[in-house]
Each structure stands twice: as C-alpha cells, then as structure tokens.
Amino acid sequence: MSEKAYNLFEMAQKQFDHVAGLLELEDGVRQLLRQPLREFQFLVPVRMDDGTVKVFNGFRVQHNDARGPAKGGIRFHPQENIDTVRALAMWMTWKCSVVDIPLGGGKGGVICDPHHLSAREQEQICRGWVRQMAKNVGPFQDVPAPDVMSNGQHMLWMLDEFEVLHGAHAPGFITGKPVGMGGSLGRTEATGYGVVFTLREALKEMGIAPKDTTASVQGFGNVAQYAIRKYGELGGKVICVACWNNHEKKAYSFRKRDGIAVDELVGISDKFGDLDPEKARALGYEVLPGDEWIAQDVDVLIPAALENQVNEKTVGRMSSRVKIVVEGANGPTTPEADAVLKEKGIFLIPDFLANAGGVTCSYFEQVQCNMNFFWEKKEVLERLDFKMTAAFRAVSELARKRKLYMRDAAYVIAIDRVAQAVRSRGWV
C-alpha cells in the first residue's frame, strides 16, 4: 500500500480544524496555524560519478516559529512531495509544543533514493541543500535533523557546508550528529525509548503490568528496534515485527510466538534494516505477508514505519484483544480509523506525543552544543524520561477531565500553547 495515496497535509489540516473548533480559536489564529509561515522549493544540481549532471528537487517548510526556532528532519525519499513535508512540519510544531520545548516546527526533504547513490553523490546533495537554504536556517532560525534515509554522516556534511559558508563554528545548527562531533549520547535510543515511556505510563494508569502484555510492531528501523528493546526491559514481549524489503519491493511480517530477539534480527538485516526472509525462517520465524502485523492477537500495537497504515481498510483486522495503539511513526492512523479506535475504546497514544522523544533529545543536543558542555548518557535519558512522562500525564489528565480522545487532548494542549505564543507576540 502506498503511503502517498492519502494527502497527509489535508489530514493534518483536518485534525487541526477539529481541535480549533474545540478551542474556539479566532479566525486570524486559525488562518495562521493551519498553513506554513514560509516554505522553500529549490533545485540541487549534482555532478554524478559517471560525469553527468542530475538535478534533484529539494524542500524546506517552516510551519511556525512563535515558540522558538523551527525544528525538524530532512528526508531523502524517491516519492517525497511538498504536501507530505507540509504535514510533517505542522506536526513538528505540535510535537515540540506538547512536550513543552522552546522550538517550532519545520521539515525538509530531497527527492532521491540513497540506495542508488554513492557516498560522494549523497555528500553533494547534502552540501547543495545547505547552499540553497543557508540564509534561512541556523541555530537561531531553523535547526534540521536526520529523518527517513538520512543519518549522522549526512548531518555532518551539512554542518560543515554551513560553517564554511558562514566562516564560523555553529554546532547548534543541526542535530543528530555523531557522538564526538557534537552529537548527544542517548540520541540513538531516544525516539524508541520515548515511545515506551509513554506506553509504560498508559499501562500504569490501566493497572496492567508490562510483563503481562504482548505487542506487535510495524517497522524495524531505529525507532522500532529501541522500542522493542526498552519494552523487553520492562518485561513485555514482542511477538511480531513487520519490515519492508527493498530488494523485493514488498513487506513481510516476522512472527515468533515466544518473543522475537532484536539482536538476532539485526544480524540478518542489511544497512537499511531490510530483513532476509530465508534467514529468518532458518532462525525459526514464521514469515507472513507484510500487513499481518496488525492482525496479531496482542495487547499493544506499535505502528513505527509509514503514514496511513492504520486506515479504514486495515483497522477492521485488529484483534479484539488490542487495548493500546502507540504511534511510533508520523501519521500512521487516518481520521476514519481514529473514529473506529475511539468507538472501540482503544487507548491511543498519538504520534506527536509518543514519538516526541527524538525531538526532545535533539533539543538536548542543541542545548549542549550551544553551551559547549555535554551530559552523560544517564543524565540525557533521565531528562528524556522526565519530559515524556510529564507530557503524557498532562495529556491523559486533560483527556479524562474533559472526556476527550487522547489525540484531541494532545492537540488541545499543543495548539493552545502555540496560539498563546502568536497572540503574545502580537502576530494576530
């Protein structure tokens, strides 16, 4: 199923409009917050290894910076488009707001596929992106980070180009850098751990011990792997994981009823996290169709891969045993599926709360770079746990108090904070 079949920006605006109604926002604030403050579309010409020149399309969207510099990743994806980037920039605004960090929302991208590019070609794309955006990004304007198919090396190339252009060191310009080059300890684990910190709090409220639960996860990238590890530390058991296989252009679900082993699966994955079905079978895994992860008889579902995965077609396949859906991915649940989850009484931890661990730790990295003083890993993860737990409890308390769906409660808190900021600045 293509994640692009659904217009994500329309979905993000639909979610915003619903909550703007709950908050009774005045018209000027609605107009200002339902679309990006500014956006950039540009071309990045690259001389390829074979001597030809290929031109790549690049994007940067800055949704809102009333509460602080824009913050958000840069995605490398062959099907990237401006509406997806707009939606993700908007969600970043709410994500930073709901965990109460002083940043706004941004997102960027390049239409390309790193699978088919050499390291030198990828470096040229990174440097070209920065050359196009150098006047409109920076530690006090817009702070990028890695996202889909981009990594710490890409961020270093971008940082280097930015510093060359500005003639000064600016490690706080970009986050997700390797440790030792301005990166923060704990950043690798942050998003996946954040997902499980919120799940832990939800189970606590329900009076359920993690050791008495099982889960199924979609995705086997960084977020999924660390979520599975942390969930296992709490005593929970993941019995199924779904993963896209780029070589075969299809997804598979890998099931082991007595619990999957992350390190075992990492051992049979390639550098992009694709799992080998034959090697999985040899290790005793059942290899099922890619969409079977959602139909497993488990207590917890963690969609941690792509957008539009829990939709009106797939939501009906969920087991009646499922009690909690934790959104590790951005925008995995459509409004139509949301309505079904609400009706079934399934406890939802929405994406921009559940996966905010990444941006929270990126904020910690930015703070450490700007101070030129770095924390130990234990301190980073303790601060992360504190921020995620406080944010979850505030949202859950509001949901109970006003009898709101968890996504609506998270939006009410996040949008209200940004609305207050634009009013206080005199923008409206």
pLDDT in tens, 53-69: 999 999 999 999 999 99
Q: Quote the pLDDT of residue 4.
A: 45
Q: Across the chain, what does the average pLDDT equal?
A: 94
Q: Are 375 and 364 spatial neighbours (Cβ–Cβ below 8 Å)?
A: yes
Q: How confident is the model at residue 40 (pLDDT cuts 50, 70, 90)?
A: very high
DSSP secondary structure of 91-123 = HHHHHHHHTT-S-EEEEEEES--GGGS-HHHHH
Tokens of 382: 């303790």
| CA atoms of 407 and 396, how far apart (whole Å) | 10
Residue tagged 């409660």 (tokens): 409
Q: Is the pLDDT of residue 37 over 70?
A: yes
Opening angle at CA 113, ends 112 and 117, nearest 5: 100
| CA atoms of 153 and 150, how far apart (whole Å) | 8
- How far are the Cα atoms of 18, 47, 66, 252, 366 from residue 291, in angstroms, in the given order? 30, 40, 40, 7, 38
**What's the pLDDT tens digit per position in 245-283?**
777 788 999 999 999 999 999 999 876 668 889 999 999
pTM over the 0.85 mark: yes
Count CB atoms within 10 A of the CB of residue 427.
13
Instruction: Tell me the three state secondary structure of residue 254.
Output: strand
- Annotation says 211 is catalytic: no
Opening angle at CA 144, ends 394 and 309, nearest 5: 60
| CA atoms of 171 and 163, how far apart (whole Å) | 9
DSSP secondary structure of 21-73 = HHHT--HHHHHHHSS-SEEEEEEEEEE-TTS-EEEEEEEEEEEE-SSSSEEEE
Give CATH 3.40.50.10860 domain extents, the chain.
38-172
Q: Are 89 and 106 spatial neighbours (Cβ–Cβ below 8 Å)?
A: yes
**Strand ranges inside 87-236, DSSP E:** 104-110, 142-146, 214-218
Q: Is the pLDDT of residue 11 over 90?
A: no
Tokens of 41: 């579309």
**In terms of Cα–Cα distance, which of 220, 191, 212 is closest to 293?**
220
- Say yes or no: domain 188-349 is CATH 3.40.50.720: yes
Strand order in the sheet with 300-303: 286-289, 250-255, 237-245, 214-218, 300-303, 324-326, 347-349
Give CATH 3.40.50.720 domain extents, the chain.
188-349
Q: Quote the pLDDT of residue 247.
A: 73
Instruction: Tell me the three state secondary structure of residue 393.
Output: helix
Q: Which of 95, 107, 177, 230 is catalytic?
A: 107
Q: Are 79 and 4 spatial neighbours (Cβ–Cβ below 8 Å)?
A: yes
Q: How confident is the model at residue 244 (pLDDT cuts 50, 70, 90)?
A: confident
Q: Quote the pLDDT of residue 245.
A: 79
Q: How many CA atoms lie within 13 A of 255 on its CB side?
A: 18
Q: Are 56 and 112 spatial neighbours (Cβ–Cβ below 8 Å)?
A: yes
Spacing of C-alpha 405 from chain mean position: 21
**In terms of Cα–Cα distance, which of 29, 155, 12, 144 is closest to 88?**
12
Q: Quote the pLDDT of residue 13.
A: 95
Q: Quote the pLDDT of residue 52.
A: 98
The answer to which of 203-207, 269-273, 297-301 has the lowest mean pLDDT is 269-273
Q: Is the pLDDT of residue 1 over 60?
A: no
Surface-to-core class of residue 126, CB atoms within 10 Å of its CB (0-12 exposed, 13-18 middle, 19+ buried):
buried
**In terms of Cα–Cα distance, which of 271, 47, 85, 74 is closest to 157?**
74
Between the two ends of the chain, the Cα-to-Cα distance in Å is 41
Q: Quote the pLDDT of residue 272.
A: 64
Instruction: Determine which helix (DSSP H) or strand (DSSP E) holds 252, and give its type and residue range.
Output: strand 250-255
User: For 403-426, what is the mean pLDDT?
Assistant: 97
> Which residues are registered as beta bridge partners of 45?
55
**In terms of Cα–Cα distance, which of 33, 54, 35, 32 is closest to 45?**
54
CATH, domain range 38-172: 3.40.50.10860
**In terms of Cα–Cα distance, which of 352, 327, 375, 52 is closest to 184?**
375
